[in-house]
């Protein structure tokens, strides 16, 4: 039996069937001939309920959710080839750091509060640029290994602190690499801009132990990739 629904629809319909939908081959289509049947549920009163996913032409919902689920499964299968610590280092930490720079770059043109010569100061930046929090240098968000980095206030790479967004900020390669992170200036910036409570929370977190499972890491990776893409699109649109 085929039921045609004359509009793309998402939701539930119920129907009375003599038997199960599987043995009767009941399928729901939209008026473009696309299957929008999802899972059938027996209500127990002779009626069956079917969840409709809107079909492919209804841009989103069911079809996109299915695509996202397949993408996640592929990443998860791939993640099983790596130790979790290797997976973090190779796949999750790099995209997290890139996202931090991209989101800082995507902020509208304006000023950034930074440390210049040991004192709190304000520098101008355009959209697409980041300001180094420990010296005030302004560079494009994706200016490469010699340009803008993602600096860590607490340098520890322990899992408990690795993806703490409060612990990271744009920092130029000069400060981050050659200046070994310029801990004194970074601390002053953290206290002045993010506050003592944040600094204390990070210092407590640093000593805690934290394990990641592959599912969590894949979900973090997917979330960071989406935020990175959104930030890049925001910069493109400006
Ligand atoms: Zn710098």
pLDDT 10s digits, 129-166: 999 999 999 999 999 888 999 999 998 888 999 999 99
State the distance from the centre of ligand 1 to the C-alpha of 150, rounded, in angstroms: 11
State the distance from the centre of ligand 1 to the C-alpha of 227, rounded, in angstroms: 25
pLDDT of residue 57: 46
What residues sit around ligand 1, an ion, with C-beta below 5 angstroms? 132, 135, 137, 172, 175
State the distance from the centre of ligand 1 to the C-alpha of 14, rounded, in angstroms: 63
The answer to whether the predicted template modeling score (pTM) of the entire model surpasses 0.85 is: no
> Which of 5, 9, 14 lies closest to 60 in space, CA to CA?
9
Three-state DSSP class for residue 194: helix
CA distance 141 to 150: 10
pLDDT of residue 7: 62
């Amino acid at each position: 039996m085929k039921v045609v629904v004359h509009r793309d629809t998402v939701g539930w319909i119920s129907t009375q069937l003599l038997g199960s939908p599987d043995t009767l081959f009941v399928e729901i289509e939209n008026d473009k001939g696309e299957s929008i049947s999802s899972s059938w549920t027996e209500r127990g009163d002779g009626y069956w309920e079917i969840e409709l996913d809107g079909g492919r032409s209804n841009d989103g919902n069911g079809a996109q959710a299915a695509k996202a689920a397949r993408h996640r499964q592929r990443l998860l299968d791939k993640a099983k080839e790596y130790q979790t610590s290797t997976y973090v280092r190779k796949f999750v930490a790099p995209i997290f750091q890139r996202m931090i720079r991209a989101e800082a770059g995507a902020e509208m043109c304006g000023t950034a509060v930074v440390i210049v010569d040991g004192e709190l100061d304000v520098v101008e930046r355009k959209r697409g640029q980041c300001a180094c929090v420990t010296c005030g240098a302004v560079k494009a968000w994706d200016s490469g290994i010699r340009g803008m980095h993602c600096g860590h206030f607490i340098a520890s790479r322990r899992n408990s602190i690795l993806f703490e967004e409060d612990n990271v900020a744009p920092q130029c390669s000069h400060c981050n690499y050659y200046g070994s992170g310029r801990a004194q200036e970074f601390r002053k910036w953290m206290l002045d801009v993010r506050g003592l409570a944040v600094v204390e929370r990070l210092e407590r977190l640093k000593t805690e132990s934290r394990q990641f499972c592959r599912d969590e890491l894949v979900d973090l990776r997917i979330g960071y990739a989406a935020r990175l893409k959104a930030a890049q699109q925001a910069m493109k649109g400006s």
